[in-house]
Amino acid sequence: MKTVFESLIPIPVAALGAWLGYMTGLPLGELIGAICLVTALSKMGVRMRMPYPFVATVQLLLGVSVGSIVTASMMRELTDFSILVGLLICMTTQIFVGYNWLRRMERWGHIESLLGSIPGAMAAVMTVSGEEGPASGRIAFVHIVRLLALLLVVTIIAGGHAESAAPMLGSFDDYLGVIPPAIAAVVVGYLLERFDVPAPYMLTGLICTAAVNVGFPQAHLHVPDPLAIVALILLGGLIGIRLKDITFKDFVRYIRAGLVVTALTFCTTLLVAFAFSKLTGKPFLSLFMSWVPGGVEVMTAAALLLKLDPAFVMLNHVVRMSIIHISPAFLPKRLLQENPQPEQ
């Protein structure tokens, strides 16, 4: 009974935090509010845990959300291999510089440095980064710092107008349309889980939903905002629990690590975007907004405000998120749950 209570209590706490965060009107306020309230109660001694079924639910909702954005027209746009190559080079360089800083300067372990350097994928990383503990907490913290810093930069670039839109409840048909690919994703994900594939439901959710969208364009799959909010609440609870062991000394050190990794990512994106702008003739700002880490919705809205090509920007971010969500399947599960290396 005690275990059940500890498993259930993060949900209402995270939901309350998400509501308080939403009331602030800040972008991603729901996620930040959920994280803060769960972390605060955990620090006060309230024991909470996030069972794997909840983590699997976050994986599924993340995969379905990204997959629902993929369309047949997007797939046709990928015939321009120069842009895809540029995106891959930019992502690889972002990970390389972030990894080397965390590994060499912050003295993090190999896997922690890798997961902490992945650009703009906090949700995906937190669902595959193993159990709670010091390593998971500092990975989460670096991603939170980078998320907030990049969100601030993008908001400034967009003239201070990159606020989040009001949530849409969606129609009954929207909910019905998501059910078949979600069920297929759960079945196939369960099978992949037997083979120790990391984050199996995230992978199958993305592939099954994208397959329906591409194969049956008339389906018009759309993930209603309440489902996305459920994912944010569960994710906020997951991250908040993992931050409970962070001390004030850790807080200062991880802010430094997050800001440095963010600055390195930002500068890397600037350089690669400038180089490919010269090579391909594409506008520099379009490439920069397409390759800098950030949420698909926020970056597309910023592109609209800046009168850039929003379809091009959205395509690059969808491809980037798809690559990041699929990539854990190619890594051994035991590798992602490696014991953390003590900080020196």
Residue 6's pLDDT is 78
* SS3 call for 126: helix
Residue 342 lies in a domain: no
Residues 6+ apart with CB under 8 A from 284: 273, 274, 277
Torsion region of 294: left, alpha or beta (phi above 0 gives left; psi -120 to 50 gives alpha): left
Residue 193 lies in a domain: yes
Residue 164 has pLDDT above 60, yes or no: no
Residue 169 lies in a domain: no
Residues 6+ apart with CB under 8 A from 22: 29, 30, 33
Mean pLDDT, residues 149-160 taken together: 65
Mean pLDDT, residues 65-81 taken together: 76
pTM for this model (two decimals)? 0.75
Average pLDDT value for the chain: 79
Residue 342's pLDDT is 46
Best CA proximity match to 124, nearest among 259, 235, 17: 235
Mean pLDDT, residues 100-120 taken together: 86
Residue 252 lies in a domain: yes
Residue 237's pLDDT is 86
- Cα distance between residue 57 and residue 62, in whole Å: 8
Q: What is the pLDDT of residues 242-256, one digit of tens each?
A: 787 777 788 888 888
Residue 165's pLDDT is 53
Place of tokens 């709670």: 132
Residue 219 has pLDDT above 80, yes or no: no
- Cα distance between residue 166 and residue 154, in whole Å: 19
Q: Which amino acid is at 286?
A: S
Q: Under a CB-based contact definition with an 8 Å cutoff, are residues 296 and 124 in contact?
A: no
Domain that includes residue 307, residue range:
2-163+187-336
Q: Count Cα neighbours of 121 within 13 Å in the Cβ-side half-sphere.
A: 31
Best CA proximity match to 271, nearest among 248, 258, 288, 259: 288
Residue 89 lies in a domain: yes
Mean pLDDT, residues 289-311 taken together: 72
Residue 155 has pLDDT above 70, yes or no: no
Domain count across the chain: 1
Looking at mean pLDDT, say which of 23-27, 129-133, 222-226, 339-343 comes out highest. Answer: 222-226
Least confident of 38-42, 90-94, 295-299: 295-299
Residue 171 lies in a domain: no
Q: Under a CB-based contact definition with an 8 Å cutoff, are residues 222 and 169 in contact?
A: no
Residue 168's pLDDT is 66
Domain CATH for 226:
1.20.1530
Best CA proximity match to 221, nearest among 73, 89, 71: 71
Q: What is the pLDDT of residues 17-26, one digit of tens each?
A: 999 988 887 7
Burial of 123 (0-12, 13-18, 19+ CB in 10 A): buried
Residue 180 lies in a domain: no
Residue 182 lies in a domain: no
Instruction: Quote the DSSP letter at residue 132.
Output: S
Best CA proximity match to 245, nearest among 115, 133, 142: 133
Residue 5 has pLDDT above 50, yes or no: yes
